[in-house]
Structures are given as structure tokens and as C-alpha cells.
Amino acid sequence: MLSKEALTQILGITDSIQLNPKKMAEKLTVTFYPSNKAVLNENITSFARNLERVLKELGVTVVPYAEAKNLIPLSKILSRFIRIMMSNFLYIVEKLLLKDTGRIYIHGAVLKNLVRRNRIKTGISIIALGEGVQNDLPMDHTASFTKSQVVSIVEKPAHIQSTTSFHEHFDTAMSLFAHHMSNIILAVDDTTWTLYNFNASHPTYKRHVGVEEFKRELLESLISKLAAPMQPQRLADFKFLRTRFDAATEPYASLTADMLKSGVVLEKLGLYPAGKKIDDLPFRNNFYRWIGKIHLDNRNGMSYGFLAWQLPTKLSELHSVDLLESKYREEIVDKDYFYDNSNNLNIVIYLPEFGTFFMKVPEVTVLSQRSGCDKTNFTPEKDLLKMGIHNGKMFMEAPKGARVASDYKPSFDTKVILAHAAGNAIVASILAHINPDAAFARQVKDTGVALSHWHGYLRPEDIPTGWYVHGFNNPHVACSTPHSALFAIDGKMKSFLRSLEPNAPDFLGDVHIEPQHGTNINFTSLSHFADFLEAHPRNATVGNIHLSQY
């Protein structure tokens, strides 16, 4: 319905994004980290040999470890040294002032690491085998702590079985990430391999399958996660408004009350697992703990899922594309977006049976929660935030009385939240033009839309009529990536087109499946969503139980 170029403009995505896993593979470069083969078992070594061979067949560039390294500038070493010294200074000051901001003290032993200039080039992913040695892990040799992903192939823990619960997988994965200082864990035994990453998922595949099946599994899981690494939004990515909103006034008070009311039910259903604090993870030293915080944009931890409310939105009018030349003094563009004389982003939309139109992309705002808070039992005065996007630029506003400190960060899923909000506004604007009485258009305009995400799936047969499902065939990208945001808005647009087909149900919302991650859903309210789940108890689970049914 809209090109990838138009969608990236709507969401303010500036990076070149590849959504095809085969094309992703061709752009990847990996190296295998030298390991002590004497301490590796056959499960690990045989899997690694097969993995290397098939990666090459998929077009991944595999370079020898010696060729993966180069000398980094002395200025970068100095910059890291200054950052560590400044962090240590602030740690001491805060301790003297009896303040606890979760800052970490880095001991002098890491200075040996800092002076290494021969490091793995930025952008090369590293695959390591088995148990590494402290101070000599791949992360100790990278030029960038955030732009080089580390994959560790390890023996699958003995307690992990086919019947292991989501929560036990989750706890195991987080411990493995911290211990091995890895972004992705491939846990292998003699018959299976399981992929862990920060999506809190655990896809498990059979070993000793045909080459083509192994290629498919790598493309949908490992390749896509290496090509689309986790990218949490930073405060610097937003225009931070000087104004403050009053959470005690409308519409915020009603929406906050709805969040809190739904939280009671969702907590009982167990859809939002307790988050993890950095300090509780088994890092081997404080230097590694510090790197872990850098990966999370200096967050103290992370929680899973979100609850949010898209605020009532001013819809845009649709205009005949014939007005483009006369109104904006330009020929009809050969692409489906343009900026008008006031620098507002417009999109060109072709609707079967209705014609071709253009419209200004509406500004959207969302009432959400800060990253890391207890999603189902939050404190409005410190955990709420309002964010939005207009002409591809994100903005944020804090509530009155909130202390914008180091732990006041937007959700990992910020781009996905805003993608759904922007998509809702575009769909509602089109619906209002086609049918002014359309229920979804009135909802977006008058009351807003409840947005939620959890790490599980609905049974397909329980999804209510009018909610269109999309995304189940997408590659498994990591949370917080621009890829996941593009899949969200593109899937919504295409789902809406399906609703315009003869005899199709009216569009009332969508269910966005993120394979091996979770579900995003738009609903009339969060309380209604919680009631819906409570009425369908077999839906109320975390994990991949229902994913294979799509």
C-alpha cells in the first residue's frame, strides 16, 4: 500500500533497512573467535562446523579472525578511559552523598583491556565456542561494544528440556547472556539447538536436518537477528518538550486509570514477567556489567511487554491526487510521499475501487510507561511519559512532578508503538473519508486506541471478528529494531486493504505477530483487552504455545 521509502519517512528511520533475510545474509560479515578446542565437546564443534559451511552457502562473508581485526585510533582508547574515570568519579560522589543511581565502579584491572589497539572491526559479528576466559572474551576485543554482535555456541544446560517453562528459559537465557557476554546464545545438544536472544524467546530446532531446512532456520532466526540487532531508543533521539503534562487531568487521568485497572487482571494472568535488573545478573566483573548497561543505553535493567494509550488524534483529510499540481505547483510525483510548502509530510495512497488520494500524515501522541518499570503495577507520577511523532521527528514530554533521571527512558519498543499509532491514524483518516460512520475512525478520533504487547500469542480461533492478523511470516528480528517498526506499520496498511475487499469484515484493529517475540494488539481499551483474555483463559499464556497455529 505504501513503499518502504514512504514508511521510513513516516517513522523517521534514516538507516538503510533490509527486510529480506537472503539480502540480510549477503551483507553480513562474521568471524569465528579462536577457542581452546581441547575443552570443547563434539556437540559444539560439529554444530559450529556445519554452521560455518552453511553461512558461507547463504552468502555470509566469513573472514579469518586475524583479518577481522585492525588498529583502532588512540583517541577511541582515550575516550573510553575518560568515560570510565568519569563514571568512577561520579560513583564516589554519589556514594558520599548517599545516593544510589545504579552506577558501577570499574576497577583498574580493566586498564589492560583498554590499551589493546588491535581489535575486531566494527560491524563484524563474532561467533565463539564454549566457555571463554574472563578478560579474554570476544567482548574484550571488540572495537565497539554495541555494533559488533557476539554469538556464543554452548552446551545446552542439563535442566533445559522440551517441557521447560517460559520463565525457566527466560532466567536461563539472561544468565547465559551475562556470563558469556553475548548478544545471542546457541545452546546445543546432540539432537537440538535453541536460540536465545533478548526477545525472551527460545525457538528450538532439530539438528541433523537437510541443508535446505537448516538454511531456512538460519535465515528466519539467526541471520535476521544479526542483521537487525537490538537498538533501544535514547533520550537524545527525541525532542524533549519543556512543558509537562498533568496526569491528574483528562484525558490522562482516565487513561491512566484504565492502565492500572487492566494491570490487576494482566498480573494475575502472568503475561508480564518480572523484569531483570543488571545488578542481579551473573556478570564476571564490573567491567562486563558496565558493558551490559551500555547495551541497554545505560538502563538499570529491562522489563518485558508494554501497555500504552494512543491519545485521541486529529485525522487528516484526503484530497484527490489531481490537486497536487495546482495546489503544490509540482507534477504528480513518481513516489508515494512528498513534503508540501509547509514542510508537512504527505503520502499518496491508491485505494482500489475508490481512486488515488494524498493526505498529510497525522501527528500522533501516545501515553506510555518508562522502560524498566512494573508494567502492571506502575506509579503514574514517576513511570508515565508521553511521546509522539510528527513529520518523522519524535518528541517526548514528562508528567508534572516526575524526576527525569538516568532511569527515565522510553520503552525498547518505542518505534513499534509509534508505528502502530501512526498506522492507526492513517487508516482512520482513510476510513473517515470512505465512511464517516466507521467505528475505528470514530475511535481513533474521539477516544484513542489502547496498545499492548506481551511475549505470547493468541489462539487464532479466539481472535475477534474485525481484527486482522499479520506478521507471522516475517523474519525473527530483535525487539527495538527499525525493522520491527516497519513490519508493524506495513502489516497494518496491508491488513486494512484486505478489509476493503468485498464481504470482508469492517476494520476494527489488528493483531501484529512478531515471530519468536510476541504480539502487539490494538484494542478499544486495556480493560476490555484484559477482560477478553480473562474470558479466553487458554489464550492467557506467555511463550510460543500458539505460534505454530498461524
pLDDT tens digits along 358-375 = 999 999 999 999 888 888
Q: With residue 286 as reference, give the H or E element that holds it.
A: helix 286-295
Phi, psi dihedrals of residue 484, rounded to the nearest 5°:
-65, -35
Phi, psi dihedrals of residue 148, rounded to the nearest 5°:
-120, 115
Residue 442 has a pLDDT of: 97
Question: Which of 19-33, 112-126, 161-175, 318-332 is the most confident on average?
Answer: 19-33
Can you say how many angstroms the Cα of residue 183 is from the centroid of all Cα atoms in its chain? 14
Residue 409 has a pLDDT of: 84
State yes or no: pLDDT of 511 exceeds 90.
yes
Whole-angstrom distance, CA of residue 383 vs CA of residue 161:
37
Spatial neighbors of 283 by CB under 8 A, at least 6 apart, are 178, 179, 181, 289, 292
Residue 200 has a pLDDT of: 87
Q: What is the CATH number of domain 235-314+364-549?
A: 3.40.225.10
Domain map of the chain by residue range? Answer: 17-72+117-227, 235-314+364-549
Closest CA to 307 of 521, 458, 472: 521
CB of 171 within 8 A of CB of 275?
Answer: no
Residue 333 has a pLDDT of: 62
Spatial neighbors of 263 by CB under 8 A, at least 6 apart, are 307, 375, 376, 377, 378
Greatest CA separation found in the chain? 75
Assign domain 17-72+117-227 one CATH number from 2.30.29, 3.40.50, 3.30.70, 1.25.40.
3.40.50
Report the predicted TM-score, pTM, of the whole model to 2 decimal places: 0.92
